[in-house]
Amino acid sequence: MYSRDDLTYQALPLPDRVALPETEMLSRSEAFLGYMRKRHSVREFDTAAVAPKVIENCIETAGLAPSGANHQPWHFVAIRDPATKSAIRKAAEEEEIAFYDGGAGDEWLKALAPIGTGPEKPHLDDAPWLIVVFAQRYGEFADGTRYKNYYVPESVGIATGFLLTALHNAGLSALTHTPNPMKFLNDLLKRPASEKPVMIIATGYAAGNATVPAVAKIKKPLDEILTVV
């Protein structure tokens, strides 16, 4: 993190070293791949409660992500209050109605058609937790003086990936939701102008009748996403 103090480089011995035999590396990577294949975005959530500590642990995991100059330019707001969730749903659906009524354009709507989405977002009420991810475009000291953050989209994207993986590791399902624009979240959640909302993550247990779009199971094969040089 950035500080007004004159911080200087100080090398510390690597505090945690994980060195595994190649056979164990292979087995672990295969097991993790297998588990991540079970991760699915769902839109139907059970309303059963999820312990706050589970959500806290997952967000703390996200906070371990690497970031530009170690500025950690993110903030997460975890919401379980029903009234706040309903307010977010109402505002998000207003944006979504405009989106699906033509604001998105024909090409975008055609791309979304196989996913089966629409302007109604009941998951924003049903999921026991909503996590709003904010990107800190710049930092501020206590007196309001600004300082620059670096590689903000990249850093926040990595942290969000950590968070989604941590939620799946905890046995929870999640759905990423990005109504556009999302400025209403700053007002609803009383976040400063320096922060830009980038995503709402609904999370909890998948409902017993949860479905996924068939097209979501179509993933690019390895030879299309990997080049070895």
Among positive and negative, which fits the CA dihedral 201, 202, 207, 210? negative
pLDDT at 1: 64
Measured in degrees and rounded to the nearest 5, phi and psi for residue 73 equal: -85, 60
Assigned token pair, 114? 């196989």
pLDDT at 28: 97
Q: What is the pLDDT along the chain (229 residues), one digit of tens a residue?
A: 667 777 889 999 999 999 999 999 999 999 999 999 999 999 999 999 999 999 999 999 999 999 999 999 999 999 999 999 999 999 999 999 998 988 888 998 999 999 999 999 999 999 999 999 999 999 988 888 999 999 999 999 999 999 999 999 999 999 999 988 899 999 999 999 999 999 999 999 999 999 999 999 999 999 999 999 9
Q: Domains in the chain and their CATH numbers?
A: 44-225 (3.40.109.10)
pLDDT at 4: 73
Would strands 138-140 and 146-148 be described as parallel, antiparallel, or unpaired? antiparallel
Three-state secondary structure call for residue 176: strand
pLDDT at 15: 93
Assigned token pair, 210? 């949860």
DSSP 103: I
Taking phi first (over 0 means left), then psi (-120 to 50 degrees means alpha), and beta for anything else, what does residue 24 get? alpha
Report yes or no: 100 and 60 within 8 Å, Cβ to Cβ: no
Q: How far apart are CA 104 and CA 95, in angstroms?
A: 11
Our CA angle for 128, 133, 135, nearest 5°, is 170
